Structure 1
Amino acid sequence: MTVPSSDLDSHQIDPTATPETVAGEVASKSPTQLALSRLRKDKLTMISAVVVLLFMVAAIAAPFLVKFGVLDPYGTNTDLLDEFSYPIGKFGGMSGNHWLGLEPGIGRDALSRLWYGTTFSLFIAISATMIAMVLGVVLGIVSGAAGGWVDMVIGRIIDLTLAFPQTLMLLALSTVGLAFIRETVGIESQNSSAAIYVIVVLGIFGWTGIARIVRGQVLSIREREFVEAAKMMGASRRRIYFREILPNLWAPILVTFTLMMPAFVSAEAALSFLGIGIGEPTPTLGNVLTLSLSYADTEFLYFFFPALLIAIIVVSFNLLGDGVRDALDPKAQR
Structure 2
Amino acid sequence: MSDKKPVADDQSVGQELSIEQRATVGLSQGTIVRRRFLQHRGAVISMYVLLFLILLAFTSVGTVVGGTGDLKPDANSTRLIVDGFRIPGWWTSTWWERYDIVLPGGAPTFTLWPFSFGDHPFGQDNTGKDVFARVMRGMQQSLSVVFIVGVISTVIGVVLGALAGYYRGWIDQLIMRITDVIIIIPLLVLGAVLGRTIGGDALMLALMLGLIAWTGMARLVRAEFLSLREREFVDAARVAGASDFRIIFRHILPNTVGVIVVSATLLMSAVILLETSLSFLGFGIKSPDISLGQIISEYNEAFKTRPWLFWWPGLFIVVIALCINFIGDGLRDAFDPRQKRVPTQNGMGSQVISFFKSYVPGARPGDETVNK
Shorter chain as denominator, the TM-score bin is 0.7 to 0.9
Using the alignment, how far apart are the partners of 2:321 and 2:286 within structure 1? 22
Q: Please give the secondary structure, in 2, of the residue aligned with 1:169.
A: helix
Structure 2 residue runs without a partner (length 5+): 1-11, 64-85, 340-365
| Alpha-carbon distance, 1:316 to partner | 0.8
Retained in 2: the 8 A contact 1:62–1:119?
Answer: no
**Normalising by the residue count of structure 2, what TM-score does the alignment of the two structures yield?**
0.74
Retained in 2: the 8 A contact 1:144–1:216?
Answer: yes
2:33 — aligned with what?
35
Retained in 2: the 8 A contact 1:73–1:112?
Answer: yes
1:110 — aligned with what?
131
Q: Please give the secondary structure, in 1, of the residue aligned with 2:106.
A: coil
Q: Does 1:214 align with 2:215?
A: no
1:87 — aligned with what?
106
**Normalising by the residue count of structure 1, what TM-score does the alignment of the two structures yield?**
0.82
Residue-by-residue CA offset, 1:2-23 (whole Å, 9 max, x unaligned): 1545417xxxxxxxxxxxxxx4
Structure 1 residue runs without a partner (length 5+): 9-22, 179-190
Retained in 2: the 8 A contact 1:140–1:212?
Answer: yes
**Bigger Rg, which one:** 2
* Correspondent of 2:327 among 320, 324, 331: 320
2:242 — aligned with what?
235
Retained in 2: the 8 A contact 1:91–1:301?
Answer: no
Pair 1:154–1:38, CA change in 2 (3 A): same
Greater mean deviation of Cα atoms: 116-125 or 73-82: 73-82
Using the alignment, how far apart are the partners of 2:216 and 2:50 within structure 1? 23
| Alpha-carbon distance, 1:303 to partner | 1.0
Aligned pairs for 1:197-208 (under 5 A) are 197-208=204-215
Pair 1:107–1:216, CA change in 2 (3 A): same
Residue-by-residue CA offset, 1:261-308 (whole Å, 9 max, x unaligned): 111111111001110122122221111122232211011122111111
Aligned pairs for 1:1-334 (under 5 A) are 1=12, 2-7=15-20, 23=22, 26-62=24-60, 64=62, 67-68=87-88, 70-71=90-91, 72-80=94-102, 86-87=105-106, 96-102=118-124, 104-178=125-199, 191-192=200-201, 195-332=202-339
Residue-by-residue CA offset, 1:188-231 (whole Å, 9 max, x unaligned): xxx43xx2442233212211111111111111221223322222
Retained in 2: the 8 A contact 1:95–1:101?
Answer: no
Pair 1:305–1:63, CA change in 2 (3 A): closer
RMSD: 2.5
Using the alignment, how far apart are the partners of 2:109 and 2:55 within structure 1? 31
- Indicate the structure with greater helix content: 1
Retained in 2: the 8 A contact 1:59–1:122?
Answer: no
Pair 1:44–1:175, CA change in 2 (3 A): closer
Pair 1:137–1:63, CA change in 2 (3 A): farther
Identity of aligned residues (%): 33
Using the alignment, how far apart are the partners of 2:30 and 2:317 within structure 1? 31
Using the alignment, how far apart are the partners of 2:16 and 2:301 within structure 1? 63
| Alpha-carbon distance, 1:252 to partner | 1.1
